[in-house]
Structure formats: structure tokens, C-alpha cells
Chain A
């Protein structure tokens, strides 16, 4: 009970701080123009500016411009092929895991697109008919500041509450049931978790209000950071290895999610001093975890990933719980199963050392 009170108190305190953080970019935009003696909001005078990437990025521009449709698939597939060719999945990607990963990768692309299109093209014009592009006076970098905070802090809260509120955990469990890290599991989510992602609708609303180019830019950066944080390609290792790069590592690991800090979030235990699945909730930015004290910064990688109570539940139960239930006895996803199995005694597991300091969790 005392623990619950502390949790509620912390959430209340952090929500209050978040309200100020959300207001920060609005205040920054206001002071920017006041300092210049301008007030473009009075007649919506600011000309929207599109961001153009350097020329040598031209070949990759279509991928990022179409990130919401086929671009994301291309990036994930390219990274996935690299991971497989480097043998980073070992023997974890079994037939049942493959089924879940593939369904979770493909189905939202098909099912979510019409829903977000309806929201952006039908519902918003109906609910807010006179507000389309009303904020197009906001300069590009101001918009980037607004969207980056709005989108990522909202996702932080959505994610954190799914870990800290027991009634929400089972909607997010599918993402943590994968006993490996990599592109294969980066999109692995219960569909109901994905379809109610608050930040998708928040960003869509801000796009409708006139921050489209900024949203596109942030989406590209965010996708790169979050995909690489899930990837089994540990791009951050050189930053820890070479002393000259330590200052860069110090800044980056506090600012954004690195493979080390995000892999720690996917660890199946906290006992090794590396894994920290009870925190490190940040997606693009890790700084939320620093501000709210929910993060642990590590430069090591966990021995094993997943959850101790994983019962290799059926793909349909993982994808569409609570509409479909697991038939596995005692599963969190079964009818009448526990909300959070962590409260029950854990089954014994055996960690087997593998190369590169990783290990596999083998149910006893």
C-alpha cells in the first residue's frame, strides 16, 4: 500500500512538471518573436518553411517522405537484414515468435492507416472546422520544438502508465515478451496498445493545425532513434570504448534512448544491475527519465531479454488480448489470469553465456 501511495504521489508530481514542459515550446516561440519585435500570430503572417536535406541525402529522401507508409518498412527491413546477416538473433526467433512479430509488423500498417486517415481527414475537420492551418505562422524550428516535446513526452506517459498501472500492463506485455532485441520485435505490440497511441492522434491534430513539416521532420528523427534503440546493432558501444568519445556518450545517453539504456528496459531481470524494466520509459528522448527519476543509465547490455513469466502465448492472444485469450494455464493473457504475474513467484531460469556478453533465458 505504501508503495502504491509513493507511486501515485510520484505520478502526480511528474504530471505537474510535465504541464510546464508542454508549455515550454509555446513560451519559447512567443519570446523568440517578441525579442524580434514581431507578432506573426496576429495575421497568420509567417510563411511556412519546408525543411530540405543536404543533397547527398537525396537518394534516401523518398524513404523519409513516405515514412508513414512504405518508408518505415524499408528502414526496418534493411536494418533487419543487417541484423540477420550478423547472426544477432541466434536461435531465439522460433516459429511462434516469428508469427507474432510478422503479424504485429504487417497488420497495423494495414489496419491503422485507415483509422488515422479518418481521424485526420474526416474527424478533425468536423470537430475543429475553422482551425485548419491556424498555427502555420509557427516557424519550422519552433514547430519542431513543439512536436518533439508534444509527441515524445506524451508517448513517455503512455508507455510509463502501461508499466506502472497494473490494469494497463497486459496491453503492453506483447512488446516485452520477445526474448531478443532487434528489428523483428521493434513493432511487436498488442494492436489495442498501438491503435490508442495518444501521441499519434496528438501529432495528427498538430499537423491539422499547421505544423505538418515540423511533424514530418520529427517523425524521421524519432524513427531513426527508436528503431536503433531496439536494434541489436549496438551503435553506441564505440562511444563507451574510446575515452575521447566519453563526453559525447555522456550527453547522448542522457538525451536520447541508446541501445544500452533501451535494452536495459527490455531485460527480464533487474538482479544483474544492468537490466531495468521498471524504468527507462523514454522513446526518442531519455531526458524524461532523467527529469522524472525513472531511468538508470547503463553502458552494459543485459544478459537476457523478455519477461520471466512468458509462456509463449498464442500469437492471436498476444496481438488482440483481451478480445482473444490465451489457452496457456496461468498466463497473464488467459481468461482469469493474473493482471501482473510478477506478483507471483517466478519460475526458475537458466542464463547461458553467449558471445558478446549476451545470454538466453531458458525456462526451467
Chain B
């Protein structure tokens, strides 16, 4: 594997992590916020 391949692979993993984190933050964060709504 050449250095260019490592760069492509790193970019791919980074994009994958972003695609994973964005919905997790919105959905997980949204549900978590509900559990921290003021009681009444």
C-alpha cells in the first residue's frame, strides 16, 4: 500500500465517522434532551 492509498483510506474513514456521528448526535441528542426537559 502506497502513501496515497493510506491518504485515501484515511479520508474514507473520516467521511464514514462523520456520516455516523451526525445522525447519532441529532437522534441521540434529541432523545437525551427530552429526558432532561424541565419537570412541568
Contact = CB atoms under 8 A, between A and B. Distances in A.
A334 B15 CA distance: 23
B15 A322 contact: no
Contacts of A197: 16
Contact of B26 (A23, A196, A201): A23
A39 B30 contact: no
Contact of A168 (B15, B24, B34): B15
A323 interface: yes
The interface residues of chain A, by DSSP majority, are classed as helix
A64 interface: no
B21 to A, nearest CB: 9
Interface in B1-38: 1-2, 5, 8-9, 11-13, 15-17, 19-20, 22-24, 26-28, 30-32, 34-35, 37
Contacts of A323: 1, 5
A197 B12 CA distance: 11
Contact of B23 (A30, A44, A153, A196): A153
Contacts, number: 82
Contacts of A298: none
Given A158-B19, A198-B16, A201-B20, A167 B11 contact: yes
Interface string A124-167: 00000000001100100000001000100110011001000101
B27 A26 contact: yes
Interface string A166-198: 011001000000000000000000001000111
24 contacts: A22-B26, A22-B27, A26-B26, A26-B27, A26-B34, A27-B30, A29-B34, A42-B35, A44-B35, A135-B31, A150-B27, A165-B15, A167-B11, A167-B12, A171-B12, A192-B12, A196-B12, A196-B16, A198-B17, A198-B19, A202-B24, A205-B24, A206-B27, A322-B1
